[in-house]
Amino acid sequence: MAWDFSTEPEFQEQLDWVDRFCREEVEPLELVFPFAVRLRDPKMRALVEPLQQQVKDHGLWAIFLDEELGGPGFGQLKLALVNEILGRYFTAPSIFGCQAPDTGNMEILAAYGTEEQKERWLYPLMNQEIWSAYSMTEPQGGSDPSLFKTTAVRDGDEWVINGEKWFTSAGRHADIIFVMCTNGIFIVPRDTPGVEVMDYPRNHEHIRYNDVRVPLDHLLGPEDGAKVLAQRRLGGGRIHHAMRAIAQCKRAFDMMCERALSRESHGKVIAEHQMVQSAIADSYAEINMLRLLVLWTAWTIDNSSTQASRTQIAACKYTAAKVLRDVTYRAIHIFGSLGVTNLTPLQAMWAGAPAMAVMDGVDEVHKVTVARNVLKDYRPHEGLWPTEYLPAKREAAREKFAAQMAADPDLETYSDMMLRRAGAGH
């Protein structure tokens, strides 16, 4: 029977190294030089690259990619176990070569790019020689592709792109932007004339594309293939976000438990108050339910495909946002006034939960997806009463014993007596 929650000893050694490496090397770098991993300054690169080389030496660089693309080919389940650790630290994914939004862009480049496109963009992205962004959401249409208005029109040997995009994460600092148009996804260098990055919001940019011209070979995949590519990209991205959310939840939980044992209120340690115990117990259960859901989904992807796992991925997406919101909220309350300051990670983590609930499609859309897909496996019942209507089921069940009751009337008497005692009657 293949039912095992254990981790191979060899890979557990890798996970132990990742945990120790992130605590001893990545977190100190993050605390003193918060954005070093994204900077091209030689002094910053001198701090970052030796850490990245250690990751490569341990065979953990770009863990989400298959071997032929330069990754270890571990699959989603092992990636989930690694991300449970990396997600505690803002810069850790970049140190390990698996940072968003580049991971999703690399995946669709690997799957749909030409050899020339891979040479030009994929391998430099893998080596962090360049950075990328994904420009999908629009101010009016949100993340619904059927409402998008950004278009690419062919003009000789070029595409001319016009439109407006909202919430293009890391767009200001990207070298190339993957722009989702009504008729395809196009790779646009950020410094192309006509790419207008607005002043706000920061980090999740508002970008206008004004007669932006790119060569014909900047179309990724087939024309009119944007929705297929987007689903391939976003499916992986959603499960990766959920993996890292587990780490955030566990970090908040660790802080909550430590604080509960360290502070006193009304004459006793607050861990002895039932409301605090309730918060800890609920958080423990919710985190582990989320973890099992995510690991099961990762296992399913490894044994089928992202497409076949889309219902589970959608469930992971909105469940991760909810658990992160609830656990961090409880932790903030246990911390009291300190929890609402920026002197601990809690405030930023709690603020990240609503963002997770709207990025890559709002949670409500994913709940609709799950409900629709689940309902495909069900059928309406016939007649007035549902399948589990007990009087009808009981009557059908009695037919199974009809011959025995006819041969021994006492059996029918016993049945009637037992049903009356159970309040069911006959």
pTM value is 0.91
Q: What is the pLDDT of residue 68?
A: 76
CA dist 186 → 177, 189, 249, 270 (Å):
8, 10, 36, 56
Which one of 3.30.465.10, 2.40.110.10, 2.40.10.10, 3.20.20.60 gives the CATH number of domain 130-220? 2.40.110.10
Strand 151-155 to 158-169 pairing: antiparallel
pLDDT in tens, the chain (426 residues): 667 889 999 999 999 999 999 999 999 999 999 999 999 999 999 999 999 999 999 999 998 888 877 778 889 999 999 999 999 999 999 999 999 899 999 989 988 999 999 999 999 999 999 999 999 999 998 888 889 999 999 999 999 999 999 999 999 999 999 999 999 999 999 999 999 999 999 889 999 999 999 999 999 999 999 888 988 787 778 899 999 999 999 999 999 999 999 999 999 999 999 999 999 999 999 999 999 999 999 999 999 988 899 999 999 999 999 999 999 999 999 999 999 999 999 999 999 999 999 988 899 999 999 999 999 999 999 999 999 999 999 999 999 999 999 999 999 999 999 999 988 755
Residue type, 88: R
Closest CA to 162 of 181, 140, 177: 181
Other CB atoms within 10 Å distance of the CB of residue 383: 8
SS3 157: coil
Return the pLDDT at 360: 83
Q: Considering just the CA atoms, what is the radius of gyration of the chain in Å?
A: 27
State how far Cα 400 lies from the chain centre. 50
Domain ranges of the chain: 9-99, 130-220, 227-375, 390-421
Tell me which of 1.10.3720.10, 3.30.565.10, 3.20.20.70, 1.20.140.10 is the CATH number of domain 227-375.
1.20.140.10
pLDDT for 1 equals: 61
* Nearest residue to 204 (alpha-carbon basis) of 141, 128, 139: 139
Percent helix / strand / coil, the chain, rounded to 5: 60, 15, 30
Question: Does the bond joining 386 to the residue before it have cis omega, within 30 degrees of 0?
Answer: no
pLDDT confidence of residue 359: 86
**pLDDT given for residue 237 in this prediction:** 82
From the CB of residue 308, how many other CB atoms can be counted at a distance below 10 Å? 11
Length of the chain in residues, anyone? 426
Whole-angstrom distance, CA of residue 120 vs CA of residue 102:
15
CATH number of 9-99: 1.10.540.10
Q: Which residue has tokens 């589990």?
A: 388
